[in-house]
Structure 1
Amino acid sequence: MSRSITPRRGGRLRAGLSLALALWLVPLAARAAEAVVTVQGDNAVDVIDLEAGTILQRIPVAGSPAGIALSPDRRTAYVTCPDAPGIAVVDLTARKVAQVLALPGGPLGIAANPRSGAVYVADWYAKRVFVLVPGEAGLRLDGEIAVGASPSGIAVTPDGATLLVANREADTVSVVDAATRRETGTIAVGHHPFGITLDAQAKRAYTANVTGDDVSVIDLAAAREVGRVKTGQRPYVIALTGERGFVTDQYSGTVTVFDPATLAPVTRIEVGDHPEGIAATADERSVIVANWGSNTLSVIDARTLTVTREIKTDNSPRAFGDFLR
């Protein structure tokens, strides 16, 4: 909370305005103070203060919210609602739903293009990804992309040019040209890939292979799998820091830690029941895990590889996607 200070000869006021402007110019992603968590059992989205460990706002979202993506400016959350079916657009400044857009099928995985702002939604029940584009009236459906069976996780390269889609029932990853909206190739991976994550340089992608109990490592330039990492039972999503990879193991109640350079497992960390969504903070000091079965977030110290705290959430947090800001 800021204090009110009476300005003297204008100096303190100018200093205060300069500080406020400096703080505003700091990228939102660099602060990463909040988690925006889909809580499926309560049909809501929790906005959580990670430092205080408290729920700032519970935003009602109908339709069993599951997947989440944040807009490039981090001020809007796009939430998939498989039972609606459709997506909810959440204004994170006003902390309320600004738009509900109906979609056919089973929307689940979701990602936003960091350059164009387009939103991509995977239809779990069909071999397609919906393309939504922003406009004055909000998002609108602007076509679809043919991919493999049961698309789930989606990742977009930092330049916005390429989409990677994990096709669970096809055991493949679709490589999609964002400009032409066409699949340009497929890459064979392990059994039932679900979450997909890119490294910071967009040189490698990682898929969590649910029934294979491993992670496929993809060399994007070569367009092929180059290795696998053994995990616990039912891996779900991968998070990366500069030094480590972290994988949620749903059935084991653990996070598998591995070395991205050697692909060797490092350790397994006990977290809550049925961990699902996972992401690293912007400073890479912490990794946040959504535990679907225990209604908590586990906070892992990325250096010591220990759980430093548990944060209570509402019922059945999933946070499948990009959920930190």
Structure 2
Amino acid sequence: MKAVHKGLALLLPFGLAFGAGLLLFDSRPPATAQTAAPGEKAGNRLVRDGIAVEFAVQPVDGAEPTEGMFADLRFRLSDAASGQPLAGQVPGAWLDLATGNDDPQTACRSRIGLYLKGLPGVRPLLDLTSYYLLILNQDPSITVVDPLTSVGGVTSMFTRIPLRRPPMDWVASPAERRLYVSMPEAGEVAVIDAERFQVLASIPAGRQPVRLALQPDGRFLWVGNDAPGEAGSGVTVIDTRTLKPVLQTDTGRGHHEIAFSADSRHAFVTSREAGTLTVFDVATLERIREIRSGPHPLGVALSPLSGAVYVSDGEAGTLSVIDAVSLETRKTIPVGRGIGPLAFAPDGRYGFVLNTADNTATVIDAASDEVLHRLEVAAEPYQIVFTRAFAYVRGLASPKVSMIDLASLGKGREPSVLGFEAGPAAPRLAGNLPLASSLAPAGDDAALFVVNPVDNTTYFYMEGMNAPMSGYLNRGHTARAATVVPRSLRELEPGLFGARVRLPAAGRLDVAFLLNQPQIAHCFALEVRADPDRQRQRTRLQVEYLVDGHGAVAGAPFTLRLRLLKGGEEPQTGVADLRVRYFRAPSAQPREVAAREVGEGIYEASVELAQAGAYYLHLGAASLGLKFGDLPYLGLRARPAGGQ
């Protein structure tokens, strides 16, 4: 355990949107966009099958939509006759350059179908059915990744968020608009705008702020302070509206885990060394009860189904069941020494208690407070997350991730436990692990991201596969944990769906909109102003790939030849650090090679195309401020040796 960071040891006893299939559209032509009301742009309102769809865009910084700037996209759905909002829908939207087709709506429906199929190389400029992947780094930073491009190696990271000190834990607000990150060395919590990916504030949060927990209603952020002595060991409560602390109080020595009642009325705080569970009245922020739940409480979780709080004690080997209203202990369930992390499936029916000593997960039925199953899982289990269908358990001493089929649980049943390996080695070999989870369910609720800190790679696993499909290598940083921030449309109020986006390009864009029931597919038009600074950047450097149309032969030597031009005319000479990054689609790990100048503005690089398939090649040069993906990429097909 010496190699494991203190943050991880706190958890262990005794120191231990849319499917991918092509949507079938009906053959009826779309209804004509309605005449605009006063002040409304023509073409921004569509009526079809009794449903009205109104599209609007509001720039965040500026008077008109501008490339590279943020804007709020809004779709209002209502009954065309009565005007009543159409709530509870799950629309999708995509932004891409307009096609200029003579029949734009037919072309629009075809493009949406291709987007839904997820074909390599067929991507819109912006996909609002997706999400961002955030990587918590060992250094004071967070890496933001666009999985649609970066995990496949097409481009580099989306952006990086610098922090004041190394992070330990994080939690997102209910609407995912903010991300809170604890920084124990700074004694602060960073508040990050999860739409702009910028630090909004750093809030003083007491001594050694470690664990973060946000109330279900989002009103207060609770911070566990793991001060070494009794003084300062407790919780700090931060008002999420004012971003100021409203309470700092001691609860007892040791690490603190935090849970809440479903109505946010009560907060429950464990103190590991003190052996207590402190209960707070959230309305008054006063402590109302101190419960002796065992000598070393390690985990705490609420089941909304049973209306009880469950506390695991690693030394006693018991699970205390405490009524969330009366605050009386209902039952004490013997589970076994060595238990620690505790979590309930989303519906609150089944609770999982991990035992790092005997490599098991004990399943509790909240309906009866009885032990249903003891399941063998990955060695030294220490983390658990859920999708709709599975519980995923991470082992500290194994690269394996165990999968427990939630539908297979129940009294008298034999649960299905599967698994896959995420990386080459056990996480414990990396050391310096935070409290934040290395497991992150993906946006479609049937996939998972897994960070392996040993090879610094975040793996992407889809349910039904035998192994992860792809991975993101976190170059320049050391990955420790992951989470997902959706960038899909949210229902902001009944019938109003929206998202804040960075406008990806200048010119006329198609905003493709899709609704399944009733079936509506339509492209709205959006004019985006060019940013003069970006235009000047584009005119400063251009690339011509000097490649014939015959492609390459897999396994044979291939020399990439290209020309760099300034302003489209003058050769760009003397770029000593020009590099080529390339990968084989759809998800091979990217490789990099240096390019050398062989003529005036002409460069060559030797690339190894070992296997047949489609390759994508990008250019980068730090001396020019040129990032991979800034210039157009080259698509190159390597055909099999002796093939056509």
Q: TM-score, normalised by structure 2?
A: 0.41
Counterpart CA distance in 2 for 1:34 and 1:235 is 31
Are 1:245 and 2:356 an aligned pair? no
In the other structure, the counterpart of 2:174 is: 72
Say if 1:248 and 1:254, in contact at 8 Å, map to a contact too.
Answer: yes
Say if 2:212 and 2:222, in contact at 8 Å, map to a contact too.
Answer: yes
C-alpha deviation, 1:297, in angstroms: 5.7
Question: CA offsets per residue over residues 207-233 of structure 1, 9 Å max, x none?
Answer: 222333343222234423311241463
Deviates more, 1:110-119 or 1:176-185: 110-119
In the other structure, the counterpart of 1:307 is: 418
Say if 2:211 and 2:435, in contact at 8 Å, map to a contact too.
Answer: no
Deviates more, 1:170-179 or 1:85-94: 85-94
Inter-CA distance 253–106: structure 2 relative to 1 (3 Å threshold): farther
Equivalences, count:
311
In the other structure, the counterpart of 2:262 is: 158
Give secondary structure in 1 for the equivalent of 2:207: coil
Inter-CA distance 82–178: structure 2 relative to 1 (3 Å threshold): same
Deviates more, 1:253-262 or 1:169-178: 253-262
Counterpart CA distance in 1 for 2:140 and 2:358 is 26
Sequence identity of aligned pairs in percent? Answer: 23
Are 1:264 and 2:286 an aligned pair? no
Q: Aligned letter for 1:101?
A: I
* Residue 131 of structure 1, aligned match among 225, 237, 247: 237
Unaligned runs of 5+ in 1: 26-30
Inter-CA distance 114–222: structure 2 relative to 1 (3 Å threshold): closer
Inter-CA distance 134–258: structure 2 relative to 1 (3 Å threshold): closer
Counterpart CA distance in 2 for 1:113 and 1:154 is 10
* Residue 10 of structure 1, aligned match among 1, 26, 32: 32
C-alpha deviation, 1:256, in angstroms: 2.6
In the other structure, the counterpart of 2:245 is: 141
* Residue 190 of structure 1, aligned match among 290, 294, 317: 294
Task: Compare CA radii of gyration and give the structure with the larger one.
Answer: 2
Counterpart CA distance in 2 for 1:117 and 1:13 is 38
Counterpart CA distance in 1 for 2:297 and 2:256 is 8
In the other structure, the counterpart of 2:193 is: 91
Counterpart CA distance in 2 for 1:202 and 1:89 is 34
Are 1:236 and 2:341 an aligned pair? yes
User: Which residues in structure 2 correspond to 1:179-218 (within 5 Å)?
Assistant: 179-201=283-305, 203-218=307-322
Are 1:106 and 2:191 an aligned pair? no
Counterpart CA distance in 2 for 1:101 and 1:197 is 26
Are 1:167 and 2:271 an aligned pair? yes
Inter-CA distance 162–254: structure 2 relative to 1 (3 Å threshold): same
Counterpart CA distance in 2 for 1:48 and 1:232 is 40
Counterpart CA distance in 2 for 1:207 and 1:32 is 36
Counterpart CA distance in 2 for 1:62 and 1:291 is 30
Inter-CA distance 302–257: structure 2 relative to 1 (3 Å threshold): same
RMSD, aligned CA: 4.4
In the other structure, the counterpart of 1:28 is: none
Q: Aligned letter for 2:356?
A: Q
Q: Give 1 or 2: higher strand fraction.
A: 1
* Residue 23 of structure 1, aligned match among 74, 90, 93: 90
Say if 1:145 and 1:182, in contact at 8 Å, map to a contact too.
Answer: no
Q: TM-score, normalised by structure 1?
A: 0.75
Say if 1:299 and 1:307, in contact at 8 Å, map to a contact too.
Answer: yes
Unaligned runs of 5+ in 2: 1-17, 34-44, 55-74, 78-88, 93-128, 409-415, 442-483, 485-644
Give secondary structure in 1 for the equivalent of 2:90: helix
Say if 2:297 and 2:312, in contact at 8 Å, map to a contact too.
Answer: yes
C-alpha deviation, 1:121, in angstroms: 0.6
